Structure 1
Amino acid sequence: MSLQTVAIVDDDLRVLQVAMLEIEYCGYMVNTFSSPQKFLNCYNELKPSLVLLDIQMPKMNGLECLHLLSTGVHKSPILMFTSINDDQFRKKALELGATAYLLKSEFLSNPCEIIKHHIK
Structure 2
Amino acid sequence: MSAPLGKILVVDDEREILDMLTDHLEDEGYVVSQAVDGEQALEGVRSEPPDLVLLDITMPGVNGLEVLRRLRRDHPKIPVVMITGIEDEALARSTLKMGAFDYLQKPFDPYRLSRLVLAAMGAAFDSRRAEPGVPRGTARPNRLAE
TM-score by length of structure 2 reads 0.75
Identity of aligned residues (%): 30
Q: Is the 8 A contact 2:35 2:44 kept in 1?
A: no
User: Are residues 74 and 90 of structure 1, via their aligned partners in 2, closer, same or farther at CA, if it must alter by over 3 Å?
Assistant: closer
Secondary structure of the equivalent of 2:61?
A: coil
1:65 aligns with 2:67: yes
Mapping of residues 10-89 of structure 1, within 5 Å? 10-73=12-75, 75-89=77-91
Aligned residues: 120
Cα shift at 1:44: 2.6
Q: Distance in 1 between matches of 2:62 and 2:94?
A: 16
Q: Distance in 2 between matches of 1:59 and 1:85?
A: 21
Partner of 1:106: 108
Cα shift at 1:105: 2.3
Partner of 2:128: none
Cα shift at 1:109: 4.5
Secondary structure of the equivalent of 1:105?
A: coil
TM-score by length of structure 1 reads 0.90
Q: Distance in 2 between matches of 1:29 and 1:15?
A: 17
Q: Distance in 2 between matches of 1:17 and 1:40?
A: 20
Aligned-residue CA RMSD in angstroms?
1.7
Q: Distance in 1 between matches of 2:68 and 2:21?
A: 20
Cα shift at 1:113: 2.2
Q: Is the 8 A contact 2:56 2:84 kept in 1?
A: yes
Cα shift at 1:99: 0.4
Query: Which protein has the larger Cα radius of gyration, Structure 1 or Structure 2?
Result: 2
Q: Is the 8 A contact 1:50 1:118 kept in 2?
A: yes
Structure 2: runs of 5+ lacking an equivalent = 125-146
Which has the larger displacement, 17-26 or 84-93?
84-93
Q: Is the 8 A contact 1:19 1:108 kept in 2?
A: no
Cα shift at 1:60: 1.3
Q: Distance in 2 between matches of 1:60 and 1:10?
A: 12
User: Counterpart amino acid of 2:81?
Assistant: L
Q: Distance in 2 between matches of 1:38 and 1:22?
A: 22
